[in-house]
Amino acid sequence: MNEHSTGAPPARWFQGVTGYQWLVLVIASAGWVFDAFEGQIFNITRNDLLTDILRAAPHSPEVRQWGDIFLGIFLAGGALGGILFGSLADRFGRRPIMITTILFYSVFAGLTYFATALWQVGALRFLVAMGVGGEWAVAATLVAEVFPKHARAHASGIFHATSTIGTWLAAGVGLAVGAQWRFAYLISVLPALLVLWVWSRVQEPESWQQARDKAATGAGGKLGSFRELFFNRVWGPRALLGMVLAAVGLGTFWSVTVAGQDLMLDLLRRGGMDSAAAAAQAKFAYGVIETIGMAAGLLSFGPLCVRFGRRRTFILLQVLALVVVPVTCYLPTTYTQLLLLLPLLGFSTLSIHAGFAIYFPELFPNHLRSTGAGFCFNAGRLLASPVLIFSGWLKALPGMTLQFAVTLMGLLFVLGIITVLLLPETKDKPLPE
């Protein structure tokens, strides 16, 4: 079934999906799983890494300071990589750039095993992030182009939801290596084996080949052109609004979703539990229980947007988040009560991230699809950076409670709703040519 088929869609979304299309989803998802792994493995090992390299105590202010600096470096590298490699994938094809991005994040992560200085860690984290940001742009575009229209949203939602596997994998590796943090980065080289699979099995989508041929004859737009993306009266506003929507999702992830762990820690400490035991229970509450809700939210976005449309689903889930965030902050008074609410917090606040993989590739034409999708998601990372700084400042204000600060940051979803209202509906429409 192609994009222009006029027949009624199959009763089940997966009917008519070919073996090759499933293979593309598996390969793209594997790349995204390791994307998430490379991003999270530093968060899990950074205390051991930094105390080793800085030769400092585990709770030294220097350790926290450099951890935040490297997070900022990672966000910047991801933004640059997503924008750059997204454009290159439109110019040279999906397959070679996907291979390049996988090699980027796996090889440079592996080289972290040998790092002995802060500048080496910073440089390598930047290069790893470039590969991580670029791989998402290419993989999300590839899934959208390969799957038939009736299955596209479900497949793209599944693709993005597999990031939770990467998070769990990183947690498992972190526990396995303990304080021997270098071995976690040596394991990070393994995703490079994906390159052989991509090279042997992935084919360039027909839509990109047609765009390449049109560009060669002058009949189509210039492949991967930022000038055309930003100055076209249709694509330009979509790119900027998509960037704002992604910034809302990414900003609330770090300031609201991740705060589930801090909310639990705060509740347990106020209940008189000692810090070590409270920290262990809070990590379990966030890393396992809330993450289950996150995964359910990511998997739900595809079926919901098929039923209700892309815009309505974005709005519905952000309205839900506006309700759930203050309820989670203020209603629970016991560990069990908060534990029951955390999956709902994860579901409502993270689910829209799957929408980025579904929606962004649908906003742009063949010759700008990866460029536009990569710009939206990864420029959103940069736009979200001040949100993280503001969130940290807000939570540190004298007299400011964590519950009130998290509730205030949740109001960012209002901006997300307004942004969606300015974007077009793409449900049941073919990809722009």
- CATH number of the domain encompassing residue 428: 1.20.1250.20
Is 433 part of a structural domain of the chain?
yes
Residue 240 and residue 94 share a domain: no
Residue 233 and residue 112 share a domain: no
pLDDT in tens, the chain (433 residues): 444 444 567 778 989 999 999 999 999 999 999 988 988 888 778 888 988 999 888 667 787 778 878 888 888 899 999 999 999 999 999 999 999 999 999 999 999 999 999 999 999 999 999 999 999 999 999 999 999 999 999 999 999 999 889 888 888 888 788 889 999 999 889 888 888 889 889 999 999 999 999 988 887 789 999 999 999 999 999 999 999 999 999 999 988 998 898 899 899 989 888 877 887 888 788 878 998 999 999 999 999 999 999 999 999 999 999 999 999 999 999 999 999 999 999 999 999 999 999 999 999 999 999 999 999 999 998 898 888 888 888 888 888 999 999 999 999 999 999 999 999 999 989 999 8
Indicate the residue among 142, 169, 204 that finishes a domain. Answer: 204
> How many domains is the chain built from?
2
pLDDT in tens, 59-90: 677 877 788 788 888 888 999 999 999 999 99
Is 323 part of a structural domain of the chain?
yes
Q: Which two tokens stand for residue 208?
A: 């990109």
Residue 245 and residue 194 share a domain: no
CA 78, 306, 24, 243: dihedral to nearest 10 degrees? -20
Residue 192 and residue 329 share a domain: no
Is 209 part of a structural domain of the chain?
no
Residue 148 and residue 58 share a domain: yes
- Whats the size of the chain, residue-wise? 433
Residue 156 and residue 51 share a domain: yes
Residue 136 and residue 78 share a domain: yes
Residue 137 and residue 29 share a domain: yes
How far, in Å, CA of 204 to CA of 146, rounded? 9
Is 77 part of a structural domain of the chain?
yes
Domain range spanning residue 344? 226-433
Residue 161 and residue 92 share a domain: yes
Residue 400 and residue 279 share a domain: yes
Residue 289 and residue 398 share a domain: yes
Rg (C-alpha) for the chain, rounded Å, is 21
Is 216 part of a structural domain of the chain?
no
**Model-wide pTM > 0.85:** yes
How far, in Å, CA of 186 to CA of 93, rounded? 30
